[in-house]
Amino acid sequence: MLRYLTAGESHGKGLVAILEGMPAGLKLDLAKINQELKRRQAGLGRGKRMQIEKDKTQIISGLKKGITLGSPIAFLIENKDFSIERLPRVTCPRPGHADLAGLLKYGFADARNVLERASARETASRVGIGAICKIFLAEFRIRISSHVLSIGGESTRLAMIKKISEAKDNKDTVGGIFEVIVKGAPCGLGSYVQADRRLDGRIAQAVMSIPGVKGVEIGLGFGYADKFGSEVHDAIYYTKNKSLTCSGRQGYFRKTNHAGGIEGGISNGEDIILRACMKPISTLMHPLDSVNIITKKPAKATVERSDICVVESAGVIAESVLAYVLADTFLEKFGSDCLSDIKDNYHNYLKKMR
C-alpha cells in the first residue's frame, strides 16, 4: 500500500513530500523526476512565476546510491520566490478560489492564509510523487501520456494559441479539456468488492483533486448517454495470435474500448483512457466583483500573479496522480517488499491469464 503527504505554501520556503510504501530495489533517476517537474511548468498560457521557479527535487531519505530502501522517500522542492512574510494581506476574496470558503471555515481575516496552501503550486509535490510512481510502473512496461484536446472550444493548435492570446489581451483566462492514456496496464487492477476499491472511482477522485478540474470521464463517458447498449459495450474475443490485437498480447482482447480500459471497477487489459475539463483560472487581471471582508462593502477581487491557461500542465499533473493510483493498485495486487519479488508475482500472473 502506498500513501503520501505533502506540505508547503506557494510562497513559503519550499514544498515537501513523503511517499511511503515504495518497495526496495527500485533505481530512481533524478533527471527523470526533474524532467516531469519541468513538464508541469511548461505549456501554452503559463505565467511569469514559471520564469522564476526552476523546480528541482532534492531527495533526502529512502535511497542509498540511488536505489530505494523500502523506507519512506522524502523530497524537497525549494521555492525561489520565498516571499510569504512580505506579501500583502488579502481582504477581497477572489470568486472561483478557496478564498472566501477558507476564510469562513478557519476564521481568518486574511485570505493569504488560505490561498498560499490552496494554490496549485502544491501540485509540484504530487508531480514529484507521480514521477517516482512512473519509474516504478515503467519496470512493468506501463506508460502514461497526456495531450490537450481543446482550449476554449478550439481543437487545432493555431486556434488554441489564438484563444489564449485573446484571453491575455482581454485580461481574462481560458480553460479546456485534456486526455490521459495509460498503455500496458494489466487486467486485474482495482476491485468490485468495495466501493472505495473501484479503480475508476479512485482515478476520478485523484483527478478531481487537481485544482481547477471540474469534470472527469472515463472511456466514452458522457457519450454513453444517447446510445443503446448494443452500440457501446466492448465485445470480448480470444486469440493466441498476438498480431491480431492492438496491444500485441495474446489472450482476451477487444476490438473497441468504449469502457476506457475499466469494467466493474477493474482494469480489463485495454488502454485506460480518461478526459478531464479544466476550468478557466480564477484569478483575473480584470477582477470580478467581491466584498471586502473587513468593511463588508462592495469591492473588486484581489489580483494575484496568475496564468492565462494551464490545460496542458493540468494534463501532466493528471498523469502523475494517475501514476500514483495505478502504482498503489498494482502493489495491492502484486505487492511485496522488494522489486524482484513483485516482478516474479507479476510474470506468474500473466502466465495464468493466457
What pLDDT does 335 receive? 87
Residue 285: CB partners within 8 Å, gap ≥ 6? 171, 172, 303, 306
304: confidence class by pLDDT, cuts 50, 70, 90: confident
Query: Which pLDDT score is estimated for 51?
Result: 56
Confidence check: pLDDT of 246 > 70? no
Give the H/E segment covering residue 275.
strand 272-278
Q: At 42, is the pLDDT very low, low, confident or very high (cuts 50, 70, 90)?
A: confident
Q: Which of 39, 339, 319, 337 is nearest to 206 (CA)?
A: 319
As a whole number, mean pLDDT of residues 206-210 equals 98
Cell numbers standing for residue 127: 508531480
How many angstroms separate the CA atoms of 103 and 95, rounded? 13
CA distance 152 to 288: 20
pLDDT at 57: 93
Residue pair 159/119 in contact by the 8 Å Cβ criterion: no
β-pair partners for 300 = 289
pLDDT at 50 over 70: no
Mean pLDDT of 311-324: 97
Residue 353, pLDDT score = 77
Three cell numbers written together for 125: 509535490
Q: What is the mean pLDDT of residues 231-245?
A: 81
Domains of the chain in start order, with CATH, are 3-219+259-352 (3.60.150.10)
Is residue 250's pLDDT more than 80?
A: no
Angle of helix 311-334 relative to helix 123-138, nearest 10 degrees, comes to 50
pLDDT tens column, 113-132 = 999 999 999 999 999 999 99
pLDDT score for 352: 83
Helix (H, G, I), strand (E, B) or coil at 167: helix
Which of 46-50, 183-187, 244-248 shows the lowest mean pLDDT across its residues? Answer: 244-248
Q: What is the DSSP letter of 170?
A: T
254-264 pLDDT, tens per residue? 999 999 999 99
